[in-house]
Amino acid sequence: MMGMVAVTWTNYLRKRLPLTIRSLHTLKGNELDQILMSPPLASLDLPDIWSSNSASRIIPAIHKSFDDQTTVVLDGKLISMEIRSRIAAKVREMKQCLGKVPGLAVILVGQRRDSQTYVRNKIMACEEVGIKSLVTELPTDCAEMDVQNAIMRFNKDPSIHGILVQLPLPQHLDEEKVLDALCLEKDVDGFHPVNMGNLAINGREPLFTPCTPKGCIELLIRSGVDIMGKKAVVIGRSNIVGLPTSLLLQRHHATVTVIHPFTENPEQITSKADIIVSAAGVPNLVRGNWIKPGATVIDVGTTPVEDSGCDDGYRLVGDVCHEEAIKVASAITPVPGGVGPMTVAMLLCNTLVSAKRMLNFN
């Protein structure tokens, strides 16, 4: 048994007041023309009809004996490159037909090195696929109104189809008020209450699905991992990753359990899961004894740890103890190089979808 470890999880929770919501059309059909393998969520909806023997039926084993297989490292970087290639082709087609390209605006507040790295990666990805990008950098001590004004300028700019506020924000800024200033139709991060609500409701399709959860599902599908009917555990319940990931897995008909800091015996619950998605932000939280032999493990954690030997002065460490997990799991994502590149690819996808919608480009 592991010793008890006191852990503080930082969840960027946004308590939103009721909003006056405009009437919006949800998406019908796959606007990405098969760039992604994930189907439209509404197409997955099935009626909940319980058969008389549902309680007693035996579900076949999900994985073959782990002794018969080698752990597969799910290469998010390689898969994301294929997705980016398809996005680039669509952007070129748009430019040839309309003389316009999708535009993404990024607002960076402060000097966090990890945030600067993330923004740099996103801008480089935009350049690779031909998406126009603009970055507004604001000092750590800027006023809330400065951030809101930057957002409002991009809201009104017709050449910008997606706006991203890099999180986390400095503590003195009210994240709720800042993000509420975003135009819903340009919320390519997918955090608006309308997008989150549509994600949770059967028959509805959000304008945008949050990028990291969307990337996790795409990674599972492209890797041939069955989701329907499987037991999935999501570790962490943040509005950014944990909550939308649990909703997405449910829309794909997994049986989902969410682990949070107040969960009793989390290792026992997690050890029964066929799919584990860890997004707690706690280095090496998930040990080998948390993992069912043959389970698929998606490690979303990317905690920066000081390391003078690295170019940026730090290295990223995941939630999962990779050395232990790789001896038990059937498939696992590396950190870095797993979920991170998929998140960026989904951001590009969302920006392209937004531009196609706004420019009426089919």
Residues 6+ apart with CB under 8 A from 175: 12, 14, 167, 168, 169
Any bridge partners for residue 314, and if so which? 306
- Which pTM does this prediction carry? 0.84
Contact 11, 171 (CB under 8 A): no
Catalytic residue status for 122: yes
Q: Is 38 left (phi over 0), alpha (psi -120 to 50) or beta?
A: beta
Residues 270 and 257: their CA atoms lie apart, in Å, by 9
What pLDDT is stored for residue 61 in this prediction?
Answer: 38
What pLDDT is stored for residue 68 in this prediction?
Answer: 52
Kindly write down the DSSP assignment for every residue of 228-284, as one continuous string: TT-EEEEE---TTTHHHHHHHHHHTT-EEEEE-TT-SSHHHHHTT-SEEEE-S--TT
What pLDDT is stored for residue 193 in this prediction?
Answer: 87
The residue from 122, 230, 231, 356 that is catalytic is 122
What pLDDT is stored for residue 215 in this prediction?
Answer: 98
Residues 346 and 350: their CA atoms lie apart, in Å, by 6
Any bridge partners for residue 72, and if so which? 331
What pLDDT is stored for residue 309 in this prediction?
Answer: 85
Catalytic residue status for 95: no
For the chain, domains (ranges, CATH) are 98-186 (3.40.50.10860), 210-342 (3.40.50.720)
Contact 243, 256 (CB under 8 A): no
Measure CA 185 to chain center: 19
Residues 5 and 9: their CA atoms lie apart, in Å, by 12
What residues in the chain have per-residue pLDDT under 50?
A: 1-29, 51-65
What pLDDT is stored for residue 32 in this prediction?
Answer: 55
Whole-number Cα distances in Å, 352 to 26, 94, 278: 16, 10, 28
What pLDDT is stored for residue 312 in this prediction?
Answer: 75
CA max distance for the chain: 62
Give the model confidence (pLDDT) of 103-154 as tens digits: 999 999 999 888 898 899 999 999 999 999 999 999 999 999 999 999 999 9
Whole-number Cα distances in Å, 226 to 29, 245, 279, 343: 22, 16, 20, 21
Contact 254, 293 (CB under 8 A): no
Residue matched to tokens 């999962």: 320
What pLDDT is stored for residue 6 in this prediction?
Answer: 33
Q: Is 190 left (phi over 0), alpha (psi -120 to 50) or beta?
A: left
The C-alpha angle 250, 252, 256, rounded to 5 degrees, equals 30
Number of other residues whose CB lies within 10 A of the CB of residue 97: 10
Residues 213 and 246: their CA atoms lie apart, in Å, by 9
Residues in the chain: 362
The residue from 90, 148, 189, 319 that is catalytic is 189
The residue from 148, 166, 214, 274 that is catalytic is 166
